[in-house]
Structure 1
Amino acid sequence: MSTSADTCERVNAQITTLVMQRPVGRRWLLGLGVAFLLLNLLLVCIAWLLIKGVGIWGVNIPVGWGFAITNFVWWIGIGHAGTFISAILLLLHQNWRTSINRFAESMTLFAVACAGLFPLLHLGRPQLFYWLLPYPDTMGLWPQWRSPLVWDVFAVSTYLTVSLLFWFIGLLPDLATLRDQQQRPLWQRRLYGLLALGWRNSARHWQRYESAYILLAGLATPLVISVHSVVSFDFAVGIVPGWHSTIFPPYFVAGAIFSGFAMVLTLIIPVRRWYGLEGYITPRHLENCAKVMFASGLILAYGYFSEWFTAWYSDDKVEAAGVMDRFFGHYAPAAWLMLGCNILVPQLLWFRAVRTSAAMLFVVSLLVNVGMWTERYVIVVGSLSHDFMPSAWGQFHPTFWDWGTYAGTIGLFLTLLFLFVRVLPMIAVSEMRKQEVAE
């Protein structure tokens, strides 16, 4: 009969050996190589952008917001699953989050890092980004508080700060575990010891850790609602047909959770297979993620139908024409792809066989990611291209640099993810030990 000490040793051995000890596999090297190539593409695109200006993108008049804002909203949405899993499910005492919360939290940080690039690059003069901050300058000028761009700066920076603190505090016991493993080289023990901030596993340390963790969870929970609500105000406060809607805040929040959980499943399913973590990330975890994704997808579908119904019932000719143009105009393929991926495909999740099948969930989550990016594209580009006056109508045609920058941020995201699973525990060892002993 195994004791609690045996259980803790088994968890330590199975999870911490993945960190800087197991030989680097071909899959990891191949994945990192592809991600690094895309990252270099991002650097080339940014360098050319700084040399030539935003004119290398396909933005024009009237579509002044193109891929940059589309990708910004998409990446911010992806980060919401980590906060939801870590903070809200912690406060609701959902123990199943333990196996995936560290991975999701890390995904949040990497997604926000990718999202933050686009507004800065879209400024045209990113070296002057500090003009968006309220600092006492010589001319006595202050940011334009009615600009959604300024709102985004404060929302995203607050979100990043709280998420980073939440992630790092959760890492402290695991960093101390890595520090205390004698089989590691001296430089690794010193590095992890420095990051562990003197953690000694004492009762006082645990009491302060639990208090800080719960406090940050309470701070992070309203951010799940507020951050994407503020992002939705970028559109809702405008008078552009297709944007000026009060349903946008809840609609965007539901879409963020929907896309975030889809990305968690897209990444966690192959990772659990490659690293042999099926004993920790079980079909139960996948099914619960699928249920949350399905529920938020239904809310998103309600938002779609509410938007269409409002355009019809209000008898606003411009709004109705905008909806018709969205589905039968120049961007109709994107709109129909959005409906197929975000409404039809998730209906498969009614069936438990699909929710518990890793292969089926991977395909569904991948299609949802495609659909959510397409939705952002339709909202941003489709609405701007079909304004009130036909004389102001225009079309957006993405250039190589648009696609290259987008693909490059995917490379940045994946590069950070591959490095993370190599140098830090992807599963919270301390929380898993506690759960295993309790069971």
Structure 2
Amino acid sequence: MAETHHHAGGGDPLPPVIAPGHTYGTVTSTIADVVLRRPPDWRWFLGMGAASSLLLLFGMTVGLLLFKGVGIWGVNVPVMWGWAIINFVWWVGIGHAGTLISAILLLLKQQWRTSINRFAEAMTLFAVACAGLFPLLHMGRPWKFFWMMPYPSTMGLLPQWRSPLVWDVFAVSTYASVSLMFWYVGLIPDLATLRDRAKNRALAMFYGALSLGWRGSGRHWARYKTAYMLLAAMSTPLVVSVHTVVSLDFAASVIPGWHATIFPPYFVAGAIFSGFAMVVTLCVPLRAWYGLKDFITDRHLDNMAKIMLATGMIVGYGYAMEFFVAWYSGNPFEEYLLLRARPFGTYSNAYRTMILCNVIIPQLLWIPAIRRHAIALWVISIFVNIGMWLERYVIVITSLSEDFLPSSWAPYSPTIWDITTYLGTIGLFTFLIFVFVRSLPAIAIFEMRELLHETHHGHDHANDHGAQAPGRES
């Protein structure tokens, strides 16, 4: 097994993926006690209160939306896609990091994924749940959603398969269902650990039911590994396909600034960029509040920062290629929109802020000290989240508000209900994160024990610390 301290490229050795001095028992206790022993502190109640308030605001906004219609939003005749579709694309993008960390890095045998995969997978599910709300609400009549499904209706009508919006339904629902199975299968051994450690009989029965009779036998582990790897292999193409399909919502049209072949790879890179930024945004406070710095170490921050830097450079390349293609094509509509309207037009402030957040500020990640400094990396991740939201804003609004026919041009501005809908989904996302942290292990216990087993063997082959199976309770 590879040594946890080695890395390519020379220089100073990287920090370990798990701090020294831990045993199987301390790993289990530290992670499980967050759920079973430690009562919630004031920070948890404060965050839960804020999230619940935003969730109530969301419920009120949706009630008004269903009563009055999408006219309460700022959408108008040329800009028929407003904040709802911007937020949809943003949330789907955030959901990408979880599948990348869990599936692709698992198949590539990257040990550093172990501390953050469970948390990132949960974040994926919650982000996709938030994303799915926006197309439903944007329909105006969400109770007609079943028309998008190929059910055997009396009239024999099927969805319009030539529409990329129909592809979205199947791409996002497949992504959500496979991610949910992958997350749940990974949880089963840890649910059994919580079942065995729970002092409360009701809790023990609850976790026991969820753990599906797990006993940690050799047969259980063999079948578990097979199922887990199969789901990882199924999830891997979804990382690329889901946001590619979302990008085709734009690229399949003839609107200036949209019909570009670079959109699929550019959207996928942007999704991973924003997804890792959100993982950093959430895991830095988590590791500080719950004393998990031994498990989410500077090595994890460094690696996530490197992925953010790489995908940020791809996004910057995408911006440059948009300029080049607009100039090289000689298309007057593309030239006007991309060379004049976006950088210098009505929405130029949004465009310039996007470039600052997504291209210029991430260049700080070339500096190793910043990559491993939790607060600095956390601040950069906030800027990236803002910048990636502005990217979707620029793509959607500038192209629609100034299209082929100048007589139909109209400015777009959101209403208070656009803002409350968006803030409400942030409340829903945060609420689910807080519930998850207190009810399920935020770090995979059995994988950390397995990593500890491998690390001991890497450090000292003569002294075998692995007599006990790493997945068993000590």
Q: TM-score, normalised by structure 1?
A: 0.98
- Residue in structure 2 matched with residue 197 of structure 1 by the alignment: 212
- Quote the Cα distance in structure 1 between the aligned partners of 2:212 and 2:379: 42
Does 2:395 correspond to 1:379? yes
- Residue in structure 2 matched with residue 71 of structure 1 by the alignment: 87
* Residue range with higher mean Cα deviation, 169-178 or 314-323: 314-323
- Quote the Cα distance in structure 2 between the aligned partners of 1:272 and 1:433: 18
Q: Alpha-carbon deviation of 1:329?
A: 1.1
- Quote the Cα distance in structure 1 between the aligned partners of 2:284 and 2:221: 32
The within-5 A match list for 1:390-429 is 390-429=406-445
Does 2:51 correspond to 1:35? yes
Please give the per-residue CA displacement for 1:208-231, whole angstroms capped at 9, x wherever unaligned: 000000000000000000000000
- Residue in structure 2 matched with residue 175 of structure 1 by the alignment: 191
Q: Alpha-carbon deviation of 1:360?
A: 0.5
- Residue in structure 2 matched with residue 269 of structure 1 by the alignment: 284
Q: Given that residues 7 and 437 in structure 1 are in contact (C-alpha distance below 8 angstroms), is that contact kept between their aligned partners in structure 2?
A: no
Q: Alpha-carbon deviation of 1:20?
A: 3.6
- Residue in structure 2 matched with residue 99 of structure 1 by the alignment: 115
**Superposition misfits of 4+ residues, deviation over 3 angstroms:** none
Does 2:152 correspond to 1:156? no
- Residue in structure 1 matched with residue 336 of structure 2 by the alignment: 321
Aligned residue among 210, 226, 229 for 2:244: 229
- Quote the Cα distance in structure 1 between the aligned partners of 2:36 and 2:258: 48
Does 2:62 correspond to 1:46? yes
- Residue in structure 2 matched with residue 308 of structure 1 by the alignment: 323
Structure 1 letter corresponding to 2:352? W
Q: Alpha-carbon deviation of 1:24?
A: 1.2
Unmatched 5+ stretches in structure 2: 1-21, 456-474
- Quote the Cα distance in structure 2 between the aligned partners of 1:34 and 1:94: 36
- Residue in structure 2 matched with residue 142 of structure 1 by the alignment: 158
Structure 1 letter corresponding to 2:428? L
- Residue in structure 2 matched with residue 283 of structure 1 by the alignment: 298
Q: Alpha-carbon deviation of 1:21?
A: 2.2
- Quote the Cα distance in structure 1 between the aligned partners of 2:34 and 2:199: 12
Identity of aligned residues (%): 62
Task: Give SS of 2:229's match.
Answer: helix
Q: Alpha-carbon deviation of 1:269?
A: 0.4
Task: Give SS of 2:199's match.
Answer: coil
The within-5 A match list for 1:89-128 is 89-128=105-144
Does 2:282 correspond to 1:296? no
- Quote the Cα distance in structure 2 between the aligned partners of 1:437 and 1:307: 49
Task: Give SS of 1:413's match.
Answer: helix
- Quote the Cα distance in structure 1 between the aligned partners of 2:249 and 2:281: 28
Please give the per-residue CA displacement for 1:259-299, whole angstroms capped at 9, x wherever unaligned: 00000001100110011111000001000000011100101
- Residue in structure 2 matched with residue 3 of structure 1 by the alignment: none
- Quote the Cα distance in structure 1 between the aligned partners of 2:40 and 2:245: 42
Q: Alpha-carbon deviation of 1:419?
A: 0.3
Does 2:216 correspond to 1:187? no
Task: Give SS of 1:19's match.
Answer: helix
Task: Give SS of 2:216's match.
Answer: coil
Q: TM-score, normalised by structure 2?
A: 0.91
Task: Give SS of 1:17's match.
Answer: helix
- Residue in structure 2 matched with residue 16 of structure 1 by the alignment: 32
Q: Alpha-carbon deviation of 1:23?
A: 1.2
- Quote the Cα distance in structure 1 between the aligned partners of 2:335 and 2:370: 37
- Residue in structure 1 matched with residue 41 of structure 2 by the alignment: 25
Please give the per-residue CA displacement for 1:181-208, whole angstroms capped at 9, x wherever unaligned: 1x52000000000000011100000000
Aligned residue among 234, 237, 259 for 1:219: 234
Does 2:444 correspond to 1:389? no
- Residue in structure 2 matched with residue 250 of structure 1 by the alignment: 265
- Quote the Cα distance in structure 2 between the aligned partners of 1:178 and 1:268: 22
Q: Alpha-carbon deviation of 1:160?
A: 0.2
- Residue in structure 2 matched with residue 332 of structure 1 by the alignment: 348
Task: Give SS of 2:402's match.
Answer: coil
Q: Given that residues 110 and 416 in structure 1 are in contact (C-alpha distance below 8 angstroms), is that contact kept between their aligned partners in structure 2?
A: yes
Structure 1 letter corresponding to 2:354? M
- Quote the Cα distance in structure 1 between the aligned partners of 2:330 and 2:237: 36
Please give the per-residue CA displacement for 1:114-134, whole angstroms capped at 9, x wherever unaligned: 000000001110001000001
Aligned residue among 238, 241, 250 for 2:256: 241
- Quote the Cα distance in structure 2 between the aligned partners of 1:7 and 1:343: 42
Task: Give SS of 2:435's match.
Answer: helix
Q: Given that residues 78 and 259 in structure 1 are in contact (C-alpha distance below 8 angstroms), is that contact kept between their aligned partners in structure 2?
A: yes
What is the number of residues matched between the two proteins? 435
- Quote the Cα distance in structure 1 between the aligned partners of 2:183 and 2:351: 37
- Quote the Cα distance in structure 2 between the aligned partners of 1:223 and 1:49: 32
Q: Alpha-carbon deviation of 1:397?
A: 1.0
Q: Alpha-carbon deviation of 1:76?
A: 0.1
Q: Alpha-carbon deviation of 1:10?
A: 1.0
Aligned residue among 348, 351, 357 for 2:373: 357
